[in-house]
Structure 1
Amino acid sequence: MKLEGGCYCGQVRFVAEGDPMFKGQCHCRECQYISGGGPNFFMVMPVKGFSYSKGSPKKFSRSDLEKAVTREFCPNCGTHLTTLRPGLPAVIVKAGTLDDPSLYGNPQSAIYTCDKQAFHLIPEGMPSFEKLPPQRG
């Protein structure tokens, strides 16, 4: 699978190739800031297949958190593009940044529902987790 996307203003573009390792919706408080209040829809893509094809993102990591993620966003329009998690050999791509968001399909599960707001919707029957799902294998 080859996915292309970028920011709202077009200054930063990316290509993500490979099969999604996971697709989810995150309800954590941090994602609520980034999404404007709703859950954040994302897909975890192989790091080897990810590259920026135009421009360079600005990066931000909180200095007050142990093992803080790095969030990458457009330095011009502020669109949040990716998240990099320490120890995860993958790139977390935001579904809304895809040129064709329908390629996202559906999330496999909802995570960090401990921070879920009353107006956040989780499809009936979809697995949900207070934090992260249990690690496989």
Structure 2
Amino acid sequence: MKLTGGCYCGAVRYEAEGEPMMMAQCHCRECQYITGGSPNVFVAMSPDSFRYTKGAPKQFARKDLENPRTREFCAECGTHVVTRPPRPVVIIKVGTLDEPGRIMPQVAIYTIDKQPFHHVPEGMPAFERLPQQ
């Protein structure tokens, strides 16, 4: 699968190619902060399959956490493009894809933090934390 996308203003562009490691919606409290309250819909890809094709994102990682995630976003418009957790994976925000409809979340994770107004589609596997591998 080849994915392309970028930020709202077009200053940052990327592409990723390969099989997704996970397509999901995350309900964790951290994602709620980043999205403004909704679950985060994402596709996880290998870091080797991802590259920026235009511009360079600004990065942010909390200094008060032992193993923080690094958030990458456009310095011009603020669009959050990807997250890089401590493990080797790139979490691409589905809303930044050129064709977001190509991604269908297959699982809901961190539902322990789910808000009453969040929706998990009927029949979608849901886990309080990460599913066991």
Task: Give the TM interval when normalised to the shorter protein.
Answer: over 0.9
- Corresponding residue for residue 4 of structure 1: 4
- Corresponding residue for residue 89 of structure 1: 88
Q: TM-score, normalised by structure 2?
A: 0.96
* Residue 30 of structure 1 pairs with residue 43 of structure 2: no
Spell out, residue by residue over 1:33-59, the C-alpha distance to the aligned partner (whole angstroms, 9 max, x if none): 221211000011121111000000011
User: Which amino acid is the alignment partner of residue 92 of structure 1?
Assistant: I
User: Which amino acid is the alignment partner of residue 99 of structure 1?
Assistant: D
- Corresponding residue for residue 60 of structure 2: 60
- Corresponding residue for residue 77 of structure 1: 77
100, 116, 119: which one pairs with 1:118?
116
* Residue 47 of structure 1 pairs with residue 41 of structure 2: no
- The SS at the match of 1:10 is coil
**Residue correspondences, number:** 133
4+ runs deviating over 3 angstroms: none
- Identity between Structure 1 and Structure 2 (%): 62
The separation in 1 between residues aligned to 2:28 and 2:47, in whole angstroms, is 23
The separation in 2 between residues aligned to 1:42 and 1:66, in whole angstroms, is 24
- Corresponding residue for residue 103 of structure 1: 102
Spell out, residue by residue over 1:75-110, the C-alpha distance to the aligned partner (whole angstroms, 9 max, x if none): 111111001011x22211010000011111x21211
User: Which amino acid is the alignment partner of residue 101 of structure 1?
Assistant: P
Tell me by how many angstroms 1:65 deviates: 1.3
User: Which amino acid is the alignment partner of residue 10 of structure 1?
Assistant: G
The separation in 1 between residues aligned to 2:68 and 2:129, in whole angstroms, is 15
User: Which amino acid is the alignment partner of residue 22 of structure 2?
Assistant: F
The separation in 1 between residues aligned to 2:30 and 2:11, in whole angstroms, is 24
Q: TM-score, normalised by structure 1?
A: 0.93
